[in-house]
Every structure is written in structure tokens, then in C-alpha cells.
């Protein structure tokens, strides 16, 4: 196996980890965005314009994250990005 200098390996590793972080963040953001849109449209259709949608949607977001075991999925996908070379 060829040894690469640290100044080459570090930026490549950081770029790879940033890419993975943005992918995970986007995949976590999408269901939360859908929940916000549904709650907002329900509140508007009921005429509750002064009630904050965040007040109603936060428990649903937390419930979704807990039900799909969000921490295990997030940590598992982060750990899977590391590979042992050799």
C-alpha cells in the first residue's frame, strides 16, 4: 500500500466526512420538513393562524425520531463511513 503525505490525506478525509454529514443532514431534514408542511396546512385549514406550527410539530418530530431509532441510524451511518485500510 502506498503511503500518502498527511497534507494530502487530511483534506481528502475532511471532504469525505463533510459530504457524508450533508447527506445525513439532508435525509434527516426531509421528513421534518414534511411534518412542518402538514402541521402548517392543518392549522391554516382550521383557522388557527396565530398558533405557532413549531409548538405543535416539535412533539411529532421528536416522536418520529424516537420511533425510527434516529440515534442508532445516525451513528451507524457515521461509523460505516470509516474503513480500515490494510
What does pTM read for this prediction?
Answer: 0.72
What pLDDT sits at residue 1? 59
- DSSP code of residue 86: -
Mean residue pLDDT of the chain comes to: 89
Radius of gyration of the chain (CA): 20
Helical segments of 1-86, H only: 6-45, 53-67, 70-79
pLDDT of 22 reads 93
Q: Give the tens place of pLDDT for each residue, 5-18.
A: 989 889 988 998 89
pLDDT in tens, 33-75: 999 999 999 999 999 989 999 999 999 999 999 999 988 988 8
Amino acid at each position: 500500500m502506498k503511503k500518502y503525505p498527511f497534507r494530502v490525506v487530511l483534506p481528502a478525509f475532511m471532504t469525505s466526512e463533510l459530504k457524508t454529514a450533508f447527506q445525513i443532514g439532508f435525509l434527516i431534514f426531509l421528513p421534518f420538513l414534511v411534518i412542518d408542511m402538514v402541521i402548517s396546512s392543518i392549522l391554516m385549514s382550521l383557522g388557527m393562524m396565530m398558533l405557532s406550527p413549531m409548538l405543535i410539530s416539535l412533539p411529532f418530530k421528536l416522536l418520529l425520531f424516537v420511533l425510527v431509532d434516529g440515534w442508532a441510524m445516525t451513528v451507524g451511518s457515521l461509523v460505516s463511513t470509516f474503513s480500515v485500510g490494510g
